[in-house]
Chain A
Amino acid sequence: MDRSRVAMLRELQEIEFALVELNLYLDTHPNDNKALSTFNNLAAHLAKAKKNYEARYGPLINFGHSGPVNSWNWIDEPWPWEIEY
């Protein structure tokens, strides 16, 4: 698996982890505007990063995210558990 694909996946994981953390913080501090704007920026960043990844490597999840596909490349290699980080 090529390096840049793993690097992009890693970046997605990093952004998503930060969003989970901000989510937990906002659960107990819903009025913290600084945290809210940070959350919004990161969420937008995540959406862009996911689009870039999918444009190059195909769908991240099998449905519910990137909408209709013209070819069913979900089954192309590698399966998620075959990815070596």
Chain B
Amino acid sequence: MTEQDYTTVENSADTLSHCPGIPRLRLATAYIPPQMFREMFPLSEALNKGTLFPELYRPYRRYPMKGEV
């Protein structure tokens, strides 16, 4: 993805979705990077982790909440 200046207005969505006082943010764009078959988790690990493919394993990390040490 080229480094873009998100302040440039490319289409009406950029204009209409802009709220004054808030940085101009582009509407979200979904994408799915192509997957290549590389290696697999051991089967027992795959069942525990919920995927056979290490590149798809991305659990939500638990970050301490504000004020939590």
Which residues of A pack against B, CB within 8 Å? 10-11, 13-15, 17-18, 21-22, 25, 28-29, 32, 34-35, 38
Interface of A is mostly: helix
Residue of A nearest to B52 (CB): A21
Contact status of A35 and B44, CB under 8 A, knowing A21-B51, A22-B52: no
When chains A and B are docked, how far (Å) is the Cα of A15 from the Cα of B52? 10
Task: Kindly identify, within residues 18 to 69 of chain B, every residue whose CB is under 8 Å from any CB belonging to chain A.
Answer: 35, 37, 40, 43-44, 46-47, 51-53
Contacts of B37 in A (CB 8 A): 25, 29, 32, 34-35, 38
**Could you jot down 27 A-B contacts, CB within 8 Å?**
A10-B44, A11-B43, A13-B47, A14-B43, A14-B46, A17-B43, A17-B46, A17-B47, A17-B52, A18-B40, A18-B43, A18-B46, A18-B47, A18-B52, A21-B46, A21-B51, A21-B52, A21-B53, A22-B52, A25-B37, A25-B53, A28-B35, A29-B37, A32-B37, A35-B37, A38-B37, A38-B40
Q: How many A-B residue pairs have CB under 8 A?
A: 34
- Closest chain-A Cβ to B52's Cβ sits at a distance in Å of 4
